[in-house]
Structures are given as C-alpha cells and as structure tokens.
Structure 1
C-alpha cells in the first residue's frame, strides 16, 4: 500500500516502520504523506489502541529530507511545509485517543526527535544518538520540538534548542525522554500489548489531562513556529547552510 512505510497490524497494536534506510529514514514529502495517511486510518479505527513508530536499518529518522539546494531565498516555503505536513503528523500523535510508543534504533535527528518526543513513551538502544542540527542549516527547531522539550526537560534542553548539538541515549534517559533497553522494538511491542490489555479508557483520559497540563497551547505555538521558520527559509544563511551540508563543507553564515 505504501512505498516508504511498512505497516504491521497485530490486533489492537500497529507498528509503523519508516522505510527509507538508504536515506536514514529522512522524512521526505512522500514518506510524510504516507505516514499522515496511515496515522489517520489508525486513529479512526476503534479497534486500534497502541501505535509503535520505528525505523528500518541504522536509524530512527534523520528528520527532514535535505537533498536539494534552494536556488535563492523564497524558493522553499517552509511555513507551508510545516503547516500542511509536519504539524499534521504531530497532531495525529499528540492529540490522538490512542497511545504511541517510539522504538528508537540508531540516530534520531531534527524532526525525527520531534516524532519520538511526541510519542507517549520511548525506548532506545544504548547506541542511539539524538542530533539537533537545525541551526547548522540556518533554521530554528521545528515540529513542536521547542515547546515539547522545554516542557518535558526544562533548562537542560535550552542549550540544544538554542544552538543545536548532540546527546547520547544515556543523556536522553537522564532527561526523562527515553528508556535505554537492549531491544527497543521488542520492548515496545511487549509494553504495547500490556497497555492494550489494561484500563485503556483511563489511559486515554490520563493522556488528555497531560495534554491539558503541558501542551494546551501547542496549537498556537505551532502557528508561531511555522511563521518564524518560514522567515528563516527566506534568508541567505538557510541557502548557505543547505549548500554547505550538501557539499560537505563548513557553512559561511552572515547572520541574515
């Protein structure tokens, strides 16, 4: 049914496997469209209770797919991309009446971290790495990451949100974002089955209360995020950052 997404349905549990291993499961337009469609189908199915999101190969997800160089400022509409794609996926996970578990194998970068953090639980291998590299291409964090990390982690997240960087699975565990395990997918499946057989209505109402307590203003935040990221997409530094990434060289930023 899908080209870049593998669906494994196991009664009330569904496993969504991002399947672009040659691109480290980067979230290109086709994969995003497929994931959004699959999540909507899952959320509309009353028989489903728990979704597991994982990646094939050596990565969970490298985030947005940076494979083409914009020719000049304004040729890429990042505001529209966020509003009409990334943000829709985030809403299907965070505001769902189902529960979601991330099974992180390898690197999670950029919007890939957002995807994992948006889930209600996350298991990761000890070798997993979390890379915030938005600033390396002249952008700010997006897909709700700033609000979610600030609320869930607090001051420990500020350095990464401001200037980027990389942290290990152990550091992510110390922040309370994930649990380090030997077999992330295996643990996720085991936990998903336990949840699915529990007092699920109570779990869903608990999720609603968590959203009310921590993420009530997420919708308005996403409007601001899309606008500001759209502005950054019209800068010299964004074009230079993407060009440097594709050419495997150090970027020469000018600050605008």
Structure 2
C-alpha cells in the first residue's frame, strides 16, 4: 500500500497521506513520497491545483517519533523544509482539506497551503513540548502571523486549538465535507484567471513569508540544540514506552 496516493483529476490532483493506522504520521518513507508527489505535480504544466488531505480519521499527527533523526537540524533542512518550500513557492495553488486531527508538522503542512478547509471537529495540536522540543517546520511564523497574538500561549506552552478558533481568525474555513468542498473550490480555480491567482500568491509570499528562509535557518539551529538535550531524549523514550516523561529542564 502506497503511503502517499495521488488521484489525477485533470488540472487538479488529490494528494492523500495514507498511513491511517498511524494517523498519517510522517515517517521517512511518507516524507520522501510526499515530496516526490508534490515535485511531480509542480513539474506537470497541465496541473493547476493540488488538494492535500489525510486518509482515515486524521490529517496528520506530524513527524513519526520512531523515525526522528538524531540530528534534528539536518532532519528539518533535508526532509521537511523542501516539502514546505515546494508548496509555498510554487506558482500553483494548494488546498489543505483537514479531515481530523493535525498535530505538529501536520499543522504546518495544512497552514503552508494557500487555502485551508477544515472539518468542524478538526483539532490542531501543538505537541512538540511533549518530547522536549519547540515548534518547528515554520509553525511559529505561520501561526503567529496568521492568528496574531491569539495562539502565542499555545505556541509557548503547547496545547490544542479547535477548528472553530482557527476559523474565527480566518485561518481555516469550516465545512462538513473538507475534501468535497476542496474539490469544488479546485474546479473553480482551475477554470479561472490562473495567472492572476499565481500573481496574488506571489504578493502574499512577499507580504507574509518574505523572511521565511532566515526564519527556517534560525528554527533548525534552535531545534538542533534542543535535540541534544536530556529532556528531548527522555521525551522520545517516554513516548515510545507510552509513559509520562520526567523532564528536568536539562
């Protein structure tokens, strides 16, 4: 079974994270296949819109802890950041259809898309602190700029953000059928003034993401430092052993 499935709908592609038994946690294989799928979509001149969603009851719970590298700086720079760059700096339009829980890097994957549709029952969980890390994959930059100061406490201390809260500040659009709504939206976009949409995306990048490369460099260095701490090692060990971690602030 492919861990990433791609459905070809003419100018539209549906890219589905397909590890439902693991809540679409991004192990190395999934990250590799997702990056490949997005690169192939971007290289296809007949494509205009990609919808990213998750199989089963989750969008994605983020990085698969069992496959996290010992060098978090390189893990981010080589494995995660290229995916987000392919989406954010593509001239094409990406829509996330958040069908369930999104956590950690899964939140970032949903937010880095141009348009975001979410189930009314979706939840966005900033779970990094549970293993002794700070938010990564660009989440702090995106969530702080899109939601203002509203979510800073949960970025600082961790916690859950409801889809309703996200919708109240315009980050997501609530719907009973995220994928169905995304496909309707995709059809309209693919038949519209696409060069204007692409130009609008470039302007949004200039306004909001103008310093993202500098930010990601800083973020990856920070996470690399945390990856060498005793708390991170304890957090991962506790997660794999299914117990509460004993942090020491070390």
Question: Would you call these one fold, judging by a TM-score over 0.5?
Answer: yes
Q: Any gaps of 5 or more consecutive residues in structure 2?
A: none
State the SS of the aligned residue for 2:150: helix
Provide Cα deviations, 1:103-162, integer angstroms capped at 9, x if missing partner.
011100000000000001111111111110101110011111111111111101211111
After TM superposition, list the pairs within 5 Å mapping 1:234-245 onto structure 2.
Answer: 234-245=228-239
Q: Any gaps of 5 or more consecutive residues in structure 1?
A: none
| Distance of 1:177 and 1:60 partners within structure 2 | 16
2:199 maps to which of 174, 188, 205: 205
- Establish whether residue 33 from structure 1 lines up as the match of residue 27 from structure 2: no
| Distance of 1:248 and 1:129 partners within structure 2 | 22
State the SS of the aligned residue for 1:155: coil
- Establish whether residue 108 from structure 1 lines up as the match of residue 107 from structure 2: no
Q: What's the counterpart of residue 158 of structure 1?
A: 152
State the SS of the aligned residue for 1:93: helix
| Distance of 2:2 and 2:177 partners within structure 1 | 26
Note the C-alpha offset of 1:246.
Answer: 2.0
TM-score by length of 2: 0.97
Higher relative contact order at CA 8 Å, sep ≥6: structure 1 or structure 2? 1
| Distance of 1:176 and 1:191 partners within structure 2 | 17
| Distance of 2:141 and 2:231 partners within structure 1 | 24
- Establish whether residue 65 from structure 1 lines up as the match of residue 58 from structure 2: no
Provide Cα deviations, 1:155-211, integer angstroms capped at 9, x if missing partner.
012111111100111111113211110100000000011011110100000000000
Q: Does 31-40 or 246-255 show the bigger shift?
A: 246-255
Aligned residues: 250
After TM superposition, list the pairs within 5 Å mapping 1:1-256 onto structure 2.
Answer: 3-67=2-66, 76-256=70-250
Runs ≥4 in structure 1, deviation > 3 angstroms? none
TM-score by length of 1: 0.95
Q: Please report the RMSD computed on the Cα atoms of aligned residues, expressed in angstroms.
A: 1.2
| Distance of 1:176 and 1:87 partners within structure 2 | 25
